[in-house]
Amino acid sequence: MKNALKSALKRFSAPQVPRQLAANFRELAPAARAQLETSLREHYFTRPIWGEGITPQAYLDSEAGRKDLAAHIHGRLDVFRQTVIPWLDAAHPLEKATILEIGSGTGSSTIALAEQGAQVFAVDIDEPSLAVAKTRRELYGLENILFHRANATEIKNLFAQQRFDFIIFFACLEHMIHDERIQAMRDAWDMLPAGSLWSVVDTPNRLWYFDSHTAHLPFYFWLPDDLAFEYARFSPRQPFNASFHQRDDQAMLRFLRHGRGVSYHEFDLALGDVKELNVVSSLSLFLREQNPLWNLGRRLIRSPNHRFESFLMEVGPDIHPGFYQPSLDLIIRKS
């Protein structure tokens, strides 16, 4: 019965993108898609970062590598269009909005924002990723994107004179070390004028019982860093499980940058009392509201995720339930 209910819910739970947003989606011709794949292979998938003795080509030839490449070509953009874009637009129209995107990566999220008519200032620290993102911008024919290579801790000086409607951390807070993360969060908050929106997207919640981001192991986020480093070899995720053997300062830094999660505690430190923050929306809760049938089914099934979320809300502080989701996807309005 449970499996049948899950299958039915999956069929009927696909988010419906508003027509005015879907009308702005741009699609690449096969030749342009091939150019994007070439750029990814030449720039992004050239670094031996997938484990000891694993070449970039060997990674791309693996099942995980093929899925990764496909996600960078179109998968991530499709997901952003279906979920994140309607969510952000519901909080503030993206058309003509001025957005600072921190963590643009290879540009999928940037395209999703810019094709809706936003002026996007996109920041990333990784030059190979930016090379792909610039190629993507040209292939999609979007001129309302300005890319900057910078660390997130530099944004306050880099954009001192610019006013933003949104500042969005896209899947990047978890890849910063503690001092960087607190400074970047605090600086972005300080930069915003009253009424503007601070957002975090696709950042794993350190409180959650299962790490689906890095190690694909239960309770992994809860382990101290040294123990988690050594325990990485038990991860089912290849080649993460073969990437860390000899522990030194550089190896530990690379390990931490793979992502150890973020929780409401950083918000308390960087943005002020988390209980007082004006949280406009959480993506997972927004999607539930868009589909009451899914929310009803979730409660009927009483999945482990639902039970654990209820547990966190019962024992944790009385804060917005968005801080108790598997991923931190939040929009916060500055008062």
User: DSSP class of residue 26?
Assistant: -
Confidence of residue 11 (pLDDT cuts 50, 70, 90): very low
Average pLDDT value for residue range 275-291: 93
pLDDT, one tens digit per residue, over 171-212 is 999 999 999 999 999 999 999 999 999 999 999 999 999 999
Which helix or strand (DSSP H or E) is residue 232 part of? Answer: none
Q: Percent of the chain, pLDDT > 90?
A: 80
Three-state secondary-structure class, residue 295: helix
One-letter amino acid of 325: Q
Which of 75-79, 124-128, 259-263, 304-308 has the least mean pLDDT? 304-308
The pLDDT of residue 6 is above 50: no
- How far is it, in rounded angstroms, from Cα 249 to Cα 24? 47
Which pLDDT score, from 0 to 100, does residue 315 have? 98
Contact 118, 95 (CB under 8 A): yes
- How far is it, in rounded angstroms, from Cα 256 to Cα 184? 17
Contact 36, 136 (CB under 8 A): yes
Residues 6 or more apart whose CB falls under 8 angstroms from that of 146 comprise: 120, 121, 122
- The β-bridge relationship of strands 119-124 and 210-211 is unpaired
Domains and CATH numbers, the chain: 2-213+261-333 (3.40.50.150), 214-260 (no CATH)
Which pLDDT score, from 0 to 100, does residue 332 have? 98
The full DSSP string for 112-177 is HHHTTT-EEEEEES-HHHHHHHHHHHHHHT--SEEEEE--GGGHHHHTTT---SEEEEES-GGGS-
Residues 6 or more apart whose CB falls under 8 angstroms from that of 321 comprise: 282, 285, 309, 313
pLDDT, one tens digit per residue, over 32-58 is 999 999 999 999 999 765 555 678 888
Residue 179 is encoded by which pair of tokens?
């001092």
Which pLDDT score, from 0 to 100, does residue 5 have? 40
CA angle 13, 287, 106 (to 5 degrees): 100
- How far is it, in rounded angstroms, from Cα 74 to Cα 120? 20
Q: Percent of the chain, pLDDT > 70?
A: 90
Which helix or strand (DSSP H or E) is residue 228 part of? Answer: helix 225-231
Does a cis peptide bond (omega within 30 degrees of 0) precede residue 236?
A: no
Q: Which of 258, 267, 28 has its CA nearest to residue 136?
A: 28
Q: Work out whether the CA dihedral 68, 101, 266, 205 comes out positive or negative.
A: negative
